[in-house]
C-alpha cells in the first residue's frame, strides 16, 4: 500500500510540474509580466481539492517512512494547514509587531543575515546564540523550501515565515537538532500553531526515541514544551531581524518562554573514514 501511495504522490507532483510549466509558457506569450506563476505568487502551483488530498496522503506516508524528507513534510504542511494558517495570520494582524512583519515580509536567508556582525555580538545576545546554533548543528536557513501549494498569497507568506523561524525557535527553546530536540520543538509548535503537520510530528516523533530519551520527553521536556507553546506570545509576530542585539534571556521573558528544564547537547556526527 505504501509504495503505491508514494508512486501516486510522485505522479501528481510531476503532473503539477508540467502544469506549472505550461502556465508559465502561456503567460510568457500572453503578457509582459515578470516571473512564471499561475496568479497567487511566484512558484505557486494550483491544485484541486482532490489533488491536495492525494498530495497530503502521499506526503504523509513518505514523511512517516523518513522524517528527514523535508520536502514531503513541507508538502504535508501546505496541503493540510489552511485553517491553522488563517488563525496564525489573524493573530499576526492583531499584534502591532506581527502586522509589521506581514506588511514588510522579511525573509531569513544567508543573503539577508550579517553573519560577521552576529559573530561580533556578545555571548548571550539572540543574534550570537542563533549563529552559534547554526554553526554547532551544521544547518543553514537557506535549506527551507519555498511554498508552492497554499492558495492564498498572504497565507503562503505565513507558512514561509513559520519555516524560516523554525531554527530561531530551536535557539529560543535551547534545543539542538537531534531527534529529542526536534520532537520537543514539534510539541511546542503543535501547541503554538495548531498546524496538523506539527501535531503529527509531535505524536509520531516519540516513536523514534530510545527509552531514556522518551522518559525525558514525557516527564520533563514534553510538558514544558506544551505549556510554553500554549502560554507564549505568537512566535510569528516577532520581527526577529530587529532583535539580534537583544539578550536571549530578555527575549524569552518577553515572549513568556521558560528556559529549558534539561540542557541537551549537540550531537556531533563523525565523518566516516575508509
Give the span between the Cα atoms of 164 and 107, in whole angstroms. Answer: 7
pLDDT on residue 218: 95
Lowest-confidence region among 68-72, 78-82, 207-211, 225-229? 68-72
Residue 254 and residue 126: Cα distance in Å, rounded? 13
Q: What is the pLDDT of residue 61?
A: 85
Mean pLDDT of 84-99: 97
Predicted confidence band of residue 134 (pLDDT cuts 50, 70, 90): very high
pLDDT beyond 70 at 103: yes
Find out whether 182 is annotated in a ligand binding site: yes
What is the pLDDT at residue 72? 87
C-alpha cell at 124: 548571550
Domain boundaries, the chain: 59-255
- What residues does 158 pair with on adjacent strands? none
Q: What is the pLDDT of residue 268?
A: 52
What distance in Å separates the CA atoms of residue 183 and residue 203, rounded to the nearest whole number?
A: 9
Given pLDDT bands bounded at 50, 70 and 90, which one contains residue 263?
Answer: confident
d(CA 255, CA 161): 17
Q: What is the pLDDT of residue 267?
A: 60
Higher pLDDT, 189 or 35: 189
Please choose, from the candidates 213, 101, 120, the residue with its C-alpha nearest in 3D space to the C-alpha of residue 168. Answer: 101
C-alpha cell at 126: 539572540
Is residue 4 a known part of a binding site?
no
Residue 247, beta-bridge partner list? 125
* pLDDT tens per residue, range 6-25: 454 455 444 444 334 333 32
Tens digits of residue pLDDT in 106-126: 999 999 999 999 999 999 999
pTM of the model: 0.82
Model pLDDT for residues 236-250, shown as the tens digit of each residue:
999 999 999 999 999
pLDDT tens digits, residue range 21-57?
333 323 323 333 344 455 588 999 999 999 989 999 9
* pLDDT confidence band for 69 (50 / 70 / 90): confident
Mean local confidence (pLDDT), 195-219? 92
Question: Any known ligand binding at 170?
Answer: yes
What is the structure's pLDDT at 39? 58
142 is in an annotated binding site: no
Instruction: Output 65 or 78, whichever has higher pLDDT.
Output: 78
Amino acid at each position: 500500500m505504501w509504495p503505491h501511495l508514494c508512486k501516486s504522490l510522485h505522479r501528481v507532483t510531476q503532473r503539477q510540474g508540467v502544469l506549472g510549466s505550461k502556465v508559465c509558457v502561456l503567460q510568457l506569450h500572453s503578457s509582459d509580466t515578470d516571473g512564471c506563476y499561475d496568479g497567487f505568487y511566484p512558484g505557486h502551483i494550483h491544485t484541486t481539492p482532490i489533488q491536495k488530498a492525494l498530495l497530503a496522503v502521499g506526503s504523509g506516508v513518505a514523511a512517516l517512512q523518513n522524517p528527514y524528507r523535508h520536502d514531503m513534510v513541507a508538502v504535508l504542511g501546505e496541503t493540510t494547514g489552511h485553517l491553522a494558517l488563517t488563525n496564525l495570520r489573524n493573530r499576526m494582524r492583531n499584534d502591532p509587531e506581527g502586522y509589521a512583519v506581514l506588511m514588510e515580509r522579511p525573509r531569513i536567508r544567508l543573503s539577508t543575515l550579517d553573519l560577521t556582525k552576529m559573530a561580533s555580538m556578545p555571548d548571550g545576545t539572540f543574534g550570537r546564540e542563533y549563529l552559534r546554533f547554526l554553526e554547532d548543528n551544521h544547518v543553514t536557513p537557506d535549506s527551507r523550501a519555498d511554498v508552492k501549494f497554499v492558495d492564498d498569497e498572504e497565507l503562503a507568506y505565513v507558512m514561509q515565515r513559520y519555516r524560516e523561524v523554525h531554527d530561531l525557535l530551536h535557539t529560543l527553546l535551547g534545543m539542538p537538532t537531534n531527534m529529542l530536540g526536534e520532537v520537543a520543538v514539534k510539541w511546542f509548535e503543535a501547541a503554538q500553531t495548531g498546524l496538523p503537520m506539527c501535531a503529527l510530528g509531535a505524536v509520531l516523533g516519540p516513536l523514534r526515541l530510545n527509552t531514556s530519551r522518551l522518559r525525558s520527553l514525557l516527564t520533563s521536556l514534553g510538558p514544558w514544551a506544551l505549556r510554553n507553546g500554549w502560554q507564549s506570545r505568537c512566535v510569528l509576530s516577532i520581527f526577529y531581524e530587529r532583535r539580534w542585539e537583544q539578550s536571549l534571556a530578555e527575549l524569552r521573558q518577553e515572549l513568556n518562554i521558560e528556559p529549558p528544564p534539561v540542557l541537551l547537547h549537540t550531537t556531533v556526527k563523525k565523518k566516516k573514514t575508509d
